[in-house]
Structure 1
Amino acid sequence: MESKSIAPELVQSYVGSAHGDFERVKELLEQEPGLLNACWDWGNGDWETALGAAAHMGRRDIAVFLISKGARMDIFTAAMLGKIDIVRSLISDNPELKNCLGPHGIPLINHAEAGGAEAAQVVEFLKQ
């Protein structure tokens, strides 16, 4: 199976759009399905996927869409989506994850707070 590189400008546009432009995310993913789990390095190892961008921005609509297409969920997305069982399980296995930082150095609890009322249970768990 031959793999091809995706133009860096396309990756940056896709990840950048996932901070809030749902229509553009859909358009770019339709144009290039390989973008689904693509990462952009904003500098100094600050790697981010579109799903990661949606998670810290509280964009549930974008996150759910990307997951439905097969995007790989992480603890930050699980926290924003209010997936308490996933967050609790991961932290139970590795308690230091409670203090981990996501894209742009944003703490896990901020991702949960971005999830609003649907993630309130995760916020409370992380504050314990």
Structure 2
Amino acid sequence: MGNKNISPELVQLFVGQAHGDFQKVQELLEQEPGLLNASWDWGNGDWETALGAAAHMGRKDIANYLLDKGARIDLFAAAMLDKVEIVKAIISDNSTLKDSLGPHQIPLINHAETGEATAVVSFLKSIEN
């Protein structure tokens, strides 16, 4: 399988659309499957994937679609999707991650709150300083 470059403009469009346009995300991913785990730097190291965009916007439909297609789950998506066992496992391995910031410097708990992830919100509040 050879490597091919994906245009930066297409990556930016895909990540941008993943903030809320499910149909466009589907169209773009069908057009270019390599976008699935591509990331865009909005500046100053603010890297974001489509899954990361969906996660901080509470777009479970987009997040689950991307995960079904093979996107790599991360702590922020797990928090938004209320996957409390994943969140607990990661934070038990490294407790400082409870205060970690995702794309656009959005805190982990905000991802859970945006996704109405009650189990994760409860867990994170139980371990606050």
**Shorter-chain TM-score: what band?**
over 0.9
Percent pairwise identity: 71
Q: Deviations over 1:22-58 (max 9, x none)?
A: 0000000000000000000000000000000000000
| Structure 1 Cα separation of the partners of residues 65 and 55 of structure 2 | 12
Deviation at 1:7, TM superposition (A): 0.5
Runs of 4+ with >6 A deviation? none
Q: Which residue of 2 aligns with 1:78?
A: 78
After superposition, what is the alpha-carbon deviation per residue over 1:50-109, rounded to whole angstroms, capped at 9, x for unaligned?
A: 000000000000000000000000000000000000000100010000000000000000
Partner of 1:111: 111
**Structure 2 counterpart of 1:97:** 97
**1:28 maps to what in 2?**
28
Question: Are 1:122 and 2:123 an aligned pair?
Answer: no
Give the structure 2 partner of residue 52 of structure 1.
52
Amino acid in the other structure paired with 2:93: D
Partner of 1:10: 10
d(CA) in 1 for partners of 2:23 and 2:35? 15
The whole-number CA distance in structure 1 between the counterparts of 2:68 and 2:49 is: 15
The alignment's TM-score, normalised by the length of structure 1, stands at 0.97
1:2 CA drift (Å): 2.1
Distance 1:114 1:79 in 2: 10
1:4-26 residue CA offsets vs partner (Å, 9 max, x unmatched):
11001000000000000000000
Partner of 2:41: 41
What residue ranges of structure 1 are gaps of 5+ in the alignment?
A: none
Report the residue type matching 2:81 in the other structure.
L
